[in-house]
Structure 1
Amino acid sequence: MEPGSYMLMENFTLLDAMSAFEIGEPRLDSGLVIAESIRPSFDPTMPLLPEEICWILDRSFAYEMEWHAGNLLSHTIFTLLYTHQLAEIEVDFMPPPQTTESDYTRPPELVYVVLRPCVMGLLKCCDLSWRELSKNAVQDVEDWQSEKSDVSLLEGLPVKYILSQLEDANKWVLGTTKLTAPWRNALYARITLRKTILQLMQSDIFVDPPSFEGLLNTAAEQLVVIRNHHPPEPHSNSPAHLAFDPWVARRLKTFVPLRIVPVRTPDETWQTLDAMLQGWRELRRLSRTTSLATWELVGQLRVWLPQSISHTAYLRSAMQSTFYDGLLILGKHTYVWMVDRFFFESLGVSYDSLVKTIRDYWTGPAPPPISQMERILYKLIAPHIRGQWLNPPRRRRHLAKSLVEWHSLYSMLSEIVAQVDRTNSPNGDIVAQMPTVALLWRLSSIREIVFSGFQMDLFSPEERPTAYWYAAEVLEEHLLCFENIKPTVPKNSSAFAEIHFQHQLLSALQAMAIATFVSCISQISFSWDRLRPSFFRRYKWAFRPEYDRIRIPVVASPSLSHLLPACNSLLEEEFFSPADSVATAEMILNGLIETESLGGWAGQWADERIKFLEGLIKACVGLRYLPRSMREVEDFDLSRVKWNPDVHPWFPSVSAPSSEIVTS
């Protein structure tokens, strides 16, 4: 078209016209054809060697892991051109067998009988993953990409049919004489692995637990075989290279610019897939765990120890669905069971006994609002447990938003307890601690909100000391709750063992937080005009107007009026030593490990809890160069303090002073 000319046609909009422009930028212009993207035409019926089939299957696993890592289907799975041309490699269209030697090394069954079912299994795995991920337990775009680009994921095809096709592929591989033993074993392992992953995604973990465990073992066994037998990279002229087109998104319906996703190495692919299997194993163990505290602990450990088991968005969604599917808890329990566990795991007594005491010794003019209290618990507990498997920023926001409801529950329980004649009731002391249980969960959420700020590097240098001070304040209230509740809990119960562990752990955390706060106190800006807006902006979640409708004061609310007196009080503590405070924390943590006092609800995750304690001990070692006295605080060189979430998510490390480095 000449400059200044235009053309009108039906249904051709301004958006269509703008989309037709080519700006010459490969990352944004999907219509721009660059030299690297010009490829020979792809023939899906081209015969392939068994090692080429293995290479294609391995590469498809790599792209599958990239999709689970958050990339688009059009940039990963759909770059495998067989996903678009399955109809052309139907078994019914397979050519008759050839007699030449060259064709004998490339039997057509490898494409029509082996590769086709594997590609179908890949697409069906994506379909089942998509269905799980679309439950909104994890967020589209934040955690995964839902765009299908109008490409079929075989949504209407039954899983049983694809499994039968994969089984037929295995039968052919085991029965044919056209393959050598090494490649027969290699193909069998890859077909079986694809089949097993498809079965794992389809299985209901509560229907047949032993079968689910057997599938995990089968997948692990095949993964070992695959790792020990890598196919060679096909030569440059091999048709296997044409099976993948990184620029295929140009021909698909997509709203995202073209991006070439780097392919993982085979070792990285199998390592990622093995981590996925480990996540399924943890899901299997959690499905048999009937403790709310254990579920919460495991979710927290995945945040506290990010390098232990890295869960994909699919697994994090599956964890949430396993705990609560919208109808039942853990596939068989009702909300009443969850409320009972809520109080039993904290007080060591059943919820029914608490309700019976309240009803028998109620003194209020109206019946006790038990059902109203239960409704609040219903709204809080399941989302709280599921929220542990959100991505870190969304998990933090979820915890912050739930604080009002936790305080509302605390207020209601306090009002209920106030109208119970606890003097004459046999369980009066235990009933009196019911509000404390709600407060414990609320304070735990606040602690996670504050410490996650360090892990996500949200705090500015001026905000860090204030955050450690507030964390110490919250931990102080948390410790008081444990001291109040401990005398009423049965001594031989798991609840008592957990209280003992938590009291020791929080004592160590408080000592570390105070030591870090005092050492970095000079970073605080004591200019009111600068400190006040920064403080209220950072802790805005604690000043929501909904609190004004609740009569009981908020416990452990951040208060700027308390910060300055606390700074003055600590600075006047002549004999306080930040280094000694950290040493005390280290002694407490070592004592927990040596005495194996790992709490009552750690269960199968006791080893993980030890790793967490060991990480805190390393953090204490990293803080050993904090000032040894208050006199040294004034001259403490803050440039030696380094925050690195990869070293420890919550606490900094302090380098040795220059004088000690020179001496050594």
Structure 2
Amino acid sequence: MEGGHLNDNLEQLSLESIAIKDSQDDVWQDITELVDKGTQELSSGQLLKPAYFTLFDAMTSIEVMDPRLDMGMLSKEDHEEIAQWDIQRKLNLHEALWISLQMFRCEMTWHMSASLLQTIYTCNYFTQYSMDQMVGEEESDNPVRDLVLYPILVGTGLCCRYVWNEYGRENVFREEDVHFGAVSPHFFDEYSQSDALRLLDVAQAYLEQKKDDEAAQQLLVLVHVRRHWLQGLAWLSSDDGNERALEELARLQQVEWRISESGQCVRGVFDRKCMRRYPSAAPTKPIELASIEKSYQTLVQMARDLHELLGALEQARSVEHLMYIFQAIAIRSPQPEPFVRSVVMSAFERDGRVRGSESLESFARRAILEVAAAPTKALSAVDGEMARVLADWFRTHCQNGPRQRRIALKYLGMWDAMQAVAEQNDINAYGGDPSQNPFWTSSWIYLMKLLLLEEGMLAGVRLCVYLDYEMPLLFGYLTQVLEAHVAHIDRMLSFVAQKSDQQPRAMQLLRWRASALAQKELCLAEWLIAHACERLNVFVAPWHKHSGSQSALQAALRLDAEPAQRARYALRLRAMSMLGSPSFLNFDGWKATVAQLDECRIADLFEHASAALLRARMALDDGRRHGSSSSDPELAAWEAAHKPVYHAVLANSVSLSKLLQSHVFATAATAELGVTGDAAQRNRLSLLNADLNAAQGMQPTTNKKKLKKIKRERQWRDDVNKLVSDKLQISWSTGKHPDWPIYTFIDP
């Protein structure tokens, strides 16, 4: 709010506080006193602003606690630090070691999704737009800087340039994986690959003359590491350099890391508040630089991941093999760094070519023909859109976890539409009789759609999207889907078996069947265990943990009512309910299925789960036999991709076996654990109503028979609570098996 009297007073204050001078240069003045006096003149609701200061400026620049504003504040210590900067300062080896290690930490922290402004751009040497002409020249009067430090920085800059160019392919996403910012990066662009390698040779030669110095020995290690990483990145950026890149990455892992000291600190070299120069591009979250050891581990892990994954892509000879490789990437925990995932995506598909040679359409047709003897007429449905969606299916496995799940659920509708088109093409090729028509193309698309559906739902477990009480619903629905999956593969196998020349296709389908069957049995076991835990009040919905107040009880009643349950069911399975296939299990069907389980004793549920885990293990063991030889690469890739499933089966089998043999289970199986689900599920509303009436100080308006039943059920609930708290502790975790809960039953 502007007022004449107020403006006059503040204008006088400003004239007293600031002596305005006519000058061509910017003059910075301390306005602390002016602001202090000005705020005393302002009353609540008033705003003082010059005419050019818009509301947009106010909203974006004067936001309280906005770090983009706070970062511009320089303390006395900051000024003292900045004053120490001197690009002409003569350095010794210990000082060069400290600067090089700090830059190495900045570089590796950048790889961990930090921004350039928080890491690499904090180095004042790095942000100089032109280096001294004496870089790499033996006649330099500052040899450590020009012959050691600058070559290492040039090599670092070129490595960053290769990484930035890879990020420019947009395989990974801004903010989710890497903070790009709006600053145009400067990585000593005037230096080429040959220039950087020549300078590293100069640094190596100089340091080898100083071998007696401990700092020189450690700088030599950094030079060797930089050389191999630089050459590896250079080969990765070329179209056909993967083999040479793998050699350099292998050499990098063999370098002996002998960094025992951090050198001698040089003040002024790193400007931690350099972001004040780029306020619009500054990230909103502060970070801590990774330690030297953590930085080295990050580099070695990236080299190891690139060597392993690119080597696997080179060796893959079939689409099936590639599927297993990418499925294994998806469930890795923790995931590879964003740069590694981007390189793998580029190596798989770039500029519309798969692995640099095969078109997307050809790749999609080959994927179908590996499992289906589809005629040329039916394959006409494989157009550019379908081929792109298939390539995206592979690339999705390299995205971060949340994006994997989002894309999987989003693409379900696209695969469903493609299946409808392919079905019509199959009918045109073979006729409309389902008993005679193998529906090769549409069957393959349906198979892919089922894989996408299952991966999307299991990604929710990995990301802890689902609450404990939702586990029965999740694994119950997945059991139905996987059962349809097994039946679908059996149908495909029946048509393959009719021809004697279909052995390779049958082998691949048998591996897919073993996988689907094992996961179906594991899902069934997880469902039964989760249902039993829910009945034992271990998995309790948040609204059941009420405080006993009337409002909490009334809220629990509303959330337990059927309309609320239907709404939650529809929300969780919204993407699946819109598919043409598999048949969607609606809410009424789900409740009927749960009612059937409620008739089983809790002890029986645990025993049936144990039997299901045994069948899952047998299916996995059977899948290991479906290979052309013991060295079959597809079989080896299948085993690697299914290790988490196998471990989850074994871990849960051991845990359940201990429970079934425990004293607690033997004594409780005929008592509390023997009660059917009627007591746990069907009277929940009655119990809540009784609690609500008691909280209101009213007598329940029910007959004596119902009151007696409610009392009996409340007693059962108290007994179960005592059993769980005093005799049997049940918990679950994912850990090494991110897609599958591992249950733990502890007998105190």
> So what's the TM-score if we normalise by structure 2?
0.73
Q: Could you tell me which of 510, 516, 521 is aligned with 2:523?
A: 510
**5 Å matches for 1:155-554?**
155=189, 157-174=191-208, 177-180=209-212, 183-204=215-236, 207-222=240-255, 225-226=256-257, 229-234=258-263, 238-239=265-266, 241-256=267-282, 260-288=286-314, 289-307=316-334, 310-347=335-372, 349=373, 354-356=374-376, 359=377, 370-421=379-430, 431-489=438-496, 490-491=502-503, 494-522=507-535, 527-543=561-577, 553-554=580-581
Instruction: Check whether the contact 2:514–2:623 (CA below 8 A) recurs between aligned residues.
Output: no
Does the C-alpha gap of structure 1 residues 556 and 314 become closer, same or farther in structure 2, counting only changes over 3 Å? farther
Report the equivalent of 1:66: 109
Letter paired with 2:87: P
Residue 323 of structure 1 deviates from its aligned partner by: 1.1
| 2:358 partner letter | H
Of 167, 173, 176, the match for 1:133: 167
Cα offset for 1:162? 2.4
CA-to-aligned-CA distance 1:127-157 (integer Å, 9 cap, x gap): 2222221322211011101125355233464
Paired-residue identity, %: 18
Counterpart position of 1:563? 590
AA at the equivalent of 1:197: W
For 2:213 and 2:655, the matched residues in 1 are separated by 55
1:379 Cα deviation after fit: 3.0
Distance change >3 Å, CA 467–CA 265, structure 1 → 2: same
CA distance in 1, matches of 2:343, 2:135: 38
Q: Provide closer, same or farther for how the CA distance between residues 251 and 243 of structure 1 changes in structure 2, counting only shifts above 3 A.
A: same
SS at 1:642 equivalent: strand
* Cα separation, partners in 2 of 1:124 and 1:209, compared to 1, 3 Å: closer
Secondary structure in structure 1 of the residue aligned to 2:351: coil
* C-alpha deviation, 1:500, in angstroms: 4.5
Q: In structure 2, give the amino acid aligned to 1:314.
A: F
After TM superposition, give the deviation of residue 29 of structure 1 in Å: 0.9
Aligned to 1:584: 611
Alignment coverage as a number of residue pairs: 613
Q: CA deviation at 1:230?
A: 1.4
- The 8 Å contact of residues 652 and 743 in structure 2, kept in 1 or not, is answered as no
More off after superposition, 411-420 vs 16-25: 16-25
**What residue number does 1:42 align with?**
85
- Residues in 2 aligned to 1:598 and 1:7: alpha-carbon distance in whole angstroms: 78
- Cα pair 1:125 1:197 within 8 Å, conserved: yes
* 8 A Cα contact 1:501 1:599, kept in partner: no
**What are structure 1's unaligned runs of at least 5 residues?**
99-107, 360-367, 548-552
Cα offset, 1:452, TM superposition: 1.4
Once residues 395 and 149 of structure 1 are traced to their aligned partners in structure 2, the CA distance between those partners, rounded to angstroms, is 29
Query: Which residue matches 2:122?
Result: 79
Shift, 1:16, TM fit: 5.8
Counterparts of 1:482 and 1:462, CA distance in 2: 32
Question: What is the aligned partner in structure 2 of residue 103 from structure 1?
Answer: none
Q: How far off its partner does 1:378 sit?
A: 1.1
Code of the residue aligned with 2:463 in structure 1: it is M
User: By how many angstroms is 1:79 displaced?
Assistant: 1.8
Taking the aligned partners of 2:621 and 2:424, their CA distance within structure 1 comes to 42
Structure 1 residue 475: Cα displacement: 1.1
- Deviation, 1:328, is 0.8
AA aligned opposite 1:219: L
1:249/1:258 contact within 8 Å kept = no
Give, in angstroms, the shift of residue 458 of structure 1: 1.4
Q: 1:363 aligns to what?
A: none
On the 8 A contact 1:501/1:598 being kept in 2, the answer is no
Q: 2:151 is matched with which residue? A: 117
Counterpart residue type for residue 292 of structure 1: V
Show the counterpart of 1:550.
none
> What amino acid does structure 2 have at the position aligned with 1:121?
G
Aligned to 1:146: 180
Which is higher, the Rg of structure 1 or of structure 2?
2
- Amino acid of the residue matched to residue 590 of structure 2? L
Supply the distance in 2 between the matched residues of 1:263 and 1:318 (Cα, whole angstroms): 24
Match of 1:105 in 2: none
Q: Indicate conservation of the 8 Å contact 2:620/2:646, yes or no.
A: yes
5+ residue gaps, structure 2, are 1-13, 15-33, 43-47, 497-501, 542-558, 628-633, 681-716
Letter of the structure 2 residue corresponding to residue 646 of structure 1: G
Distance 2:603 2:49 in 1: 82
2:327, 2:397 within 8 Å by CA — same for their partners in 1?
A: yes
Q: What is the distance in 1 between the residues matched to 2:598 and 2:64?
A: 63
TM-score, scaled to structure 1: 0.82
The answer to whether the 8 A contact 1:44-1:88 is kept is no
Task: Answer with 204-213 or 532-541: which moved more.
Answer: 204-213
CA distance in 2, matches of 1:88, 1:502: 59
The amino acid across from 1:116 in the alignment is: Y
Displacement after TM superposition at 1:185 (Å): 4.2
Letter in 1 for 2:370: E
The residue type equivalent to 2:518 in the other structure is: L
Distance 1:305 1:210 in 2: 24
Q: Residue 738 of structure 2 corresponds to which residue in structure 1?
A: 649
What CA distance in whole angstroms lies between the structure 1 residues aligned with 2:73 and 2:254? 45
Taking structure 1 as reference, are residues 143 and 85 closer, same or farther at Cα in structure 2, changes over 3 Å only? same
Distance 1:596 1:55 in 2: 54
8 Å contact from structure 2 (residues 68, 276) kept in 1: no
CA gap of 1:88–1:501, structure 2 versus 1, over 3 A, is same
SS of the equivalent of 2:426 reads helix
CA contact (8 A) 1:619 1:648 kept: no
Distance 1:123 1:653, change over 3 A: same
Moved more, 296-305 or 121-130: 296-305
Shift of 1:411: 1.9
The one-letter amino acid of 2:359's match is T
Alignment correspondent of 2:22? none
